[in-house]
Structure 1
């Protein structure tokens, strides 16, 4: 597994999701908030389309759902923390 291209921002976003502080606005282009503040849109899309996190449950477009790491996302986070 490679972590090349992931930044401290990506790591912080993944850590926040792992800590249960992330909330996803579901839709075609999802948005992630941490502690009520919206995250970098580009980084959110990179992590989401990379399969690193998902909503904890299916939600209608525009609805909010807690974000959770996927198994792959947890592996990437562990690798980023080890660097």
Structure 2
């Protein structure tokens, strides 16, 4: 986690939208220490948030591969919990 980023900090609407898209199978990520994300085959406009989702463990690659490879992104159990907590709060 980078300095100034708190694990319990609320997710932005954009981060939640990215998680929802990943949950429907529309997201891919590039395998690296700071994975970039793609949605519907297009690069995400907010890679900072993509990195945040990965650092917090909310998304993960569907399978291992080599650095630089693009793979399907999965929402982790922590990501599902984050989505459910927002839904329950609404």
Instruction: For residue 47 of structure 1, report the CA deviation from its aligned partner.
Output: 0.7
String of CA shifts for 1:7-31, please: whole Å, max 9, x gaps. Answer: 1101110000000000011112210
2:83 match: 77
Q: TM-score normalized by structure 1?
A: 0.89
Tell me the C-alpha RMSD between the 2 structures. 1.6
Instruction: For residue 4 of structure 1, report the CA deviation from its aligned partner.
Output: 4.3
Highest Rg: 1 or 2?
2
Q: Is there any run of 5+ residues in structure 2 with no aligned partner, and where? A: 1-6
Matched, 1:10 2:15: yes
Q: TM-score normalized by structure 2?
A: 0.83
Q: Which runs of 4+ in 1 moved over 6 A?
A: none
String of CA shifts for 1:16-64, please: whole Å, max 9, x gaps. Answer: 0000000011112210111112221110111100000100000110001
The correspondence of residues 12-51 of structure 1 with structure 2, limited to 5 A, is 12-39=17-44, 40-51=46-57
Bigger relative CO (Cα 8 Å, ≥ 6 apart): 1
SS at match of 2:64: coil
